[in-house]
Structure 1
Amino acid sequence: MTASAETVAQDIKRPPYMGYAMAAAGATLFSTKSILIKLAYAHGIDAETTLALRMILALPFYLVIGIHAFTSMKASGKTLPDTKLWLRVIGVGLIGYWTSSYLDFKGLEYISAHFERLILFTYPLFVVLIGAAFFRQSIKPKALLAFAVSYVGLALMFSQNFAALGASAMTGTLFVLAAAVTFALYQLLAKPLIMTIGPQLFTCIAMGAAGVAVILQFLVTHPFENLFVSAHLWGLSLALAFGATVLPSFFMSAALKQITPQANATIGMLSPVVTIVLAMSILGDAVGLADWLGAALVILGIGWFTLSERRG
């Protein structure tokens, strides 16, 4: 075997460490989203207004990065996306970053931050189930075992917190569960598009389309002067836009280019654990022994799945 052939063989066998790291970073940053939303809701604004403020501040980042990604593709002579591809990316963006986000924000009007995160992160199961049902993807036994361990942990945390919620629990649960299903569908649909046009341009087109939809939705349902909020709310919105939206969205898209949607989804289950810690320290939520035991099982499931996938 020649030196170049050996290098290629090593690259094929080399585990996608960077993909795993970016998936974990994206999950951690996304976990701050529900905390920031709850802090904003404490000032009396609703889901539509919070989502609009988030996108108004996030759109300039995506515009600048998207123009740079497009001009770089053009300068390097790469094939630019045609109209059909643009429409596909826009459609996927509307599913993942408008529909799913709106359902999630609405759910947070009814339930606690860490309870929302537990429900939302049932989406790895939907990734596997939808992938097997509609995308001809196999369900690996190791994935099922990892899910079994992780979901036992999630069930412990779920049962611990469910009794504390009132009649609004069902409404919030249904909103967030619908968000989980649409987010799983987004993950599966996004993968081939990211491989075609790259994570940067894909993310900017998808988020740009979702941002326009969010702002139009707000203008249809709310008076424009509702955007005149306090400086503190603008600060929370900026943190929500950049730290909990722009950065993790690029991390997630970059991770999806290197690892499978199932691996990305499973690693993303770290997010509920991070949210519990933040909810306890920032929002003052009570966290019991069952929560911590459940968190340990979630981490065990994530770690086993990630290591086993590296070995093939």
Structure 2
Amino acid sequence: MSGLRARLQAIPTGGYAAAFCIALCATTFYSMKPVFIKLAFANGASVNAVMAWRMALSLPVFLAVGVKAWQRRTEKPSARQVAQAAFVGILGYYGASYLDVLGLQYVSAQLERLILFCYPALVILATAFIRRQPISAQTSGALGLAYAGLGLLFGHDLQLGGADTLLGTALVFGSAVAYAGYLMLSGGPIAAMGSLLFTAIAMSAACFAVLAQAVAVEGLVGLAITPAALAWMAAVALISTVLASFLQSEAIARLGAARSSVVGSTGPLLTSVAAVVLLGEPFGPYHAAGLALATAGMVVLSRKKQQKKA
């Protein structure tokens, strides 16, 4: 991983095209996660096995990163700060990931990605409620577009899937809520210990929580999966979790969070393409309209944030 980072840093910081490509790669890798998980399900993996193998394969990388980040800090975080980072990680990665994988049993990869794609709207709504601040007309319009697109695709899939679609949507929406909570609670720990060490602690804590639950529920024998399922879980862990997170961090460093999020708005479209090609999921007018509306809403929100920072 250090070799990858060295190659990324060798790219001139001012190269917008290179930075854009890094951001697009990160988005692509994140967008493949539901497709990889669906393929693991198709090869016989259970929910607990999917969660366990994803975290087991990711854990060594995050532990190694955490050790290096800890050694480089002259002022070490307190035990309370470490515990806080671990708690936030369990909420955001254990809770959110578990609900997401449960939901993927019942909804299409395309609907799952679109639901999660709208989590920034949840952060905006929660922040406005907590701070008792009114939401501007532009933000309200953007939120309306995003959720209109989500509602359009949900309504279409509900007619086809019935109760399963309703259950899966509720589970994935719960995942989006948990992840939004993670983002809102992570600001303090990140400021105290830096993003690299925080992410390593948060992800490691989530990994241990997932593995403990999986072993308690399934036992070690119950977590055995076929070689094909293991290959897809390796892709989830190494491509859609570890590599994507490092590329996303590099993209934010080069482009800034606002521009990176605009590139990230292509995520649902990339998921749709992969779902159609690899899973055989349908793609029709409802999918296209839903994607267009949700993407437009999120792009407006991203540009609004960028204008505020400018």
Please indicate the TM-score interval, normalised by the length of the shorter structure.
Answer: 0.7 to 0.9
**Distance change in 2, residues 1:23/1:82 (3 Å):** farther
The answer to whether residue 49 in structure 2 is matched with residue 53 in structure 1 is no
Within 2, Cα distance between the matches of 1:264 and 1:129? 21
Q: Partners of 1:256 and 1:186 in 2: how far apart?
A: 18
Q: How far apart, CA to CA, are the structure 2 residues paired with 1:147 and 1:21?
A: 28
SS in 2 for 1:44: coil
The correspondence of residues 224-239 of structure 1 with structure 2, limited to 5 A, is: 224-239=220-235
When the two chains are superposed, the root-mean-square deviation of aligned CA atoms in Å is: 2.9
Conserved? CA contact 2:145–2:293, under 8 Å = yes
Deviations 1:162-219 (A, max 9, x none): 2111332222122111111111101111123223322211111000000000000011
1:8-23 matches, cutoff 5 A: none
- Structure 2: stretches of 5+ with no match in the other structure: 1-15
- Residue 82 of structure 1 deviates from its aligned partner by 0.6
Cα displacement string for residues 21-65 of structure 1 (whole angstroms, at most 9, x for unaligned residues): 877654432221110110000112211111001111000110111
Aligned residue in 2 for 1:302 = 298
1:8 counterpart residue number: none
Partner in structure 1 of residue 79 of structure 2: 83
Paired with 2:249 and 2:172, the residues of 1 have a C-alpha distance of: 22
SS of residue paired to 1:240: helix
Q: How does 1:173-252 map to 2 (within 5 A)?
A: 173-250=169-246
Separation (CA, whole Å) in 2 of partners of 1:23 and 1:184: 21
Q: Which whole-Å deviations, capped at 9, do the CAs of 1:59-117 have from their partners, x for residues lacking one?
A: 011011111111122xxx3x221111101100000001101100111111122211222
How many residue pairs are counted as aligned between the two chains? 292
Q: Using structure 1 for the length normalisation, give the TM-score.
A: 0.82
**Residue among 156, 167, 185 paired with 2:163:** 167
| Shift of residue 121, structure 1, vs aligned partner | 3.0
Residue by residue, what CA displacement relative to the aligned partner does 1:272-301 show, whole Å, maximum 9, x if unpaired?
Answer: 222111111110101101211222233333
Structure 2 distance, partners of 1:274, 1:49, is 26
CA contact (8 A) 1:107 1:172 kept: yes
1:42 maps to 2:38? no
Q: Distance in 2 between matches of 1:210 and 1:195?
A: 20
Counterpart in the other structure of 2:66: 66
Identity %: 34
How far apart, in 2, do the equivalents of 1:68 and 1:196 lie?
17
1:217-265 CA distance string (max 9 Å, x none) = 01110021133322222211111001111133345667789548xx987
Which structure 1 residue ranges, 5 or more long, are not aligned? 1-15
2:307 is aligned, of 297, 306, 311, to: 311
- The aligned amino acid for 1:43 is N
Distance, in Å, in 1 between the alignment partners of 2:130 and 2:30 is: 27
Q: Please state whether the residue corresponding to 1:105 is helix, strand or coil.
A: helix
| Distance in structure 2 (CA, Å) of the matches to 1:236 and 1:108 | 15
Q: Contact (CA 8 Å) 1:19, 1:259: kept in 2 or not?
A: no
Bigger drift between 89-98 and 269-278 goes to 269-278
**Alpha-carbon separation, structure 1, partners of 2:205 and 2:169:** 27
Q: Look up the match of 2:28.
A: 28
CA distance in 1, matches of 2:135, 2:33: 30
Cα distance in structure 1, aligned partners of 2:104 and 2:159: 17
Classify 1:87/1:167 alpha carbon distance in 2 versus 1 (closer, same or farther; 3 Å): same
Question: Structure 2 counterpart of 1:210, which letter?
Answer: A
SS in 2 for 1:163: helix
Structure 1 residues 136, 266: CA separation in 2 closer, same or farther (over 3 Å shift)?
farther
Contact 2:261 2:302 in 1 (8 A): no
| Aligned match of 2:128 | 132
Please state how far the C-alpha of 1:139 moved relative to its aligned partner.
3.8
Match of 1:12 in 2: none
**Cα pair distance change 1:31/1:48, threshold 3 Å:** same
Q: Partners in 2 of 1:141 and 1:18 — Cα distance?
A: 35
* Structure 2 counterpart of 1:293, from 278, 289, 293: 289
Aligned with 1:222: secondary structure?
A: helix
Question: For residue 104 of structure 2, what is the aligned residue in structure 1?
Answer: 108
* One-letter amino acid of the structure 2 residue matched with residue 273 of structure 1: L
Secondary structure in structure 1 of the residue aligned to 2:215: helix
